[in-house]
A and B are shown apart, each in its own frame.
Chain A
Amino acid sequence: MIEPTLSHYLLISGALFSIGLLGVIVRRNILIIYMSLELMLNAANVALVAMSRFNGNLDGQVMVFFIITVAAAEVSVGLALIVALYRKRQTTEVGDLASMKL
């Protein structure tokens, strides 16, 4: 059995980040875009924890701890913004929310 190494974990992290980025680019529903954003944050977390493990240093895990906290705050504020936006416009499609375009 192959022991998973640092490059395997980094590859998984890159794949997760790519899937999240694809979701942000392709999907048009603002809630789905937000979920893809969460996936990208978690890809960064996986990379940080893997680096922390294979360097024998806990600073990466502390960083991930703070990232998770900030992400939870960010999710709550973002979803409240989406709900407020839905109350004003009755839509969650980003194509219909282009009034801030220059």
Chain B
Amino acid sequence: MSRNPVTSAMFLVTTMISISGLFVLLNAYFLAAVQILVYAGAVMVLFLFVIMLLDVEETARRKLRLVSLTMGFLSVAALFGVYKSSLEATYVKDVDSSQDIAAAATSVGESESLVTVGSTQALGKELFSSVNGFILPFEIVSILLLVAMIGVILLSKKETK
């Protein structure tokens, strides 16, 4: 396990790109592109910038306590075990039927445009349809981004008194 935060950030970039590959496998092409642009691009550049700015490598040499390490590992492993067993109890019987659902969704003409054809157009129609679209949440999110931008500028400004 590397203790250098820059190495951790690089591995996180690799993970983000792999997750984007999973999105491609799931026919979510637009989300795959957004994942690479936003996470592997913007967010990780921000992380690396802050790591370099704060010079974290100096303070990264502190030792982890063995007790907290083992207890954390055990509790997370137990949580994952519970998740996995509940998943098997729920979905082992449904594996065939879920495949059937996906196959049915791809074979039905109306759903074909949703699932198989490159999903950007379908996602845009879903997002902006006037009947049950997501126009109001979209606008709220744009306001949220504006507020976040102003907040970041205020937070990172040098205090001048």
Q: A-side interface residues toward B, CB under 8 Å?
A: 3-7, 9-12, 14-16, 18, 21-22, 25-29, 31-32, 34-35, 38-39, 42, 45-46, 49-50, 52-59, 61-62, 64-66, 68-77, 79-84, 86, 91-93
Determine if A50 and B26 form an interchain contact, defined as CB atoms under 8 angstroms apart: yes
A35: B residues at CB distance < 8 A = 8-9, 12, 47
B contact residues around A52 at 8 Å (CB): 26, 28
**Of the candidates A5, A32, A59, which one forms a contact with B98 in the assembled complex, judged by CB atoms under 8 Å apart?**
A5
Is the beta-carbon distance between A61 and B72 smaller than 8 angstroms?
no
Instruction: For residue A75, give the distance in angstroms from its CB to the closest CB of chain B.
Output: 5
Main secondary structure, interface of A, reads helix
- Nearest Cβ distance between residue B4 and chain A, in whole angstroms? 10
The interface size of chain B toward A, counting residues with CB under 8 Å, comes to 77
**Shortest Cβ gap from B101 to chain A (Å):** 6
Chain B residues, CB < 8 A from A77: 148, 151-152, 155
Q: Would you call A69 and B35 a contact (CB within 8 A)? A: no
Give per-residue flags for B82-120: 1 if the beta carbon is below 8 A from chain A beta carbons, else 0.
011001100110110011011011101001001100010
Contact status A62-B126, CB under 8 Å: yes
B46 & A75 in contact (Cβ 8 Å cutoff): yes
Kindly state the separation between the CA atoms of A46 and B95 in the bound complex, as whole angstroms: 18
**Which residues of chain A come closer than 8 Å to B43, judged between CB atoms?**
38, 71-72, 75
Question: When chains A and B are docked, how far (Å) is the Cα of A9 from the Cα of B50?
Answer: 32
User: Distance (Å) between the CB of B8 and the closest chain A CB?
Assistant: 6
The residues of B that contact A18 with a CB separation of less than 8 Å are 76-77, 79-80, 83
A-B contact sample (15 more), CB < 8 A, given A58-B119, A66-B137? A7-B87, A16-B15, A18-B76, A18-B79, A26-B64, A28-B62, A28-B64, A32-B5, A38-B39, A38-B43, A62-B134, A64-B31, A68-B35, A72-B145, A83-B156
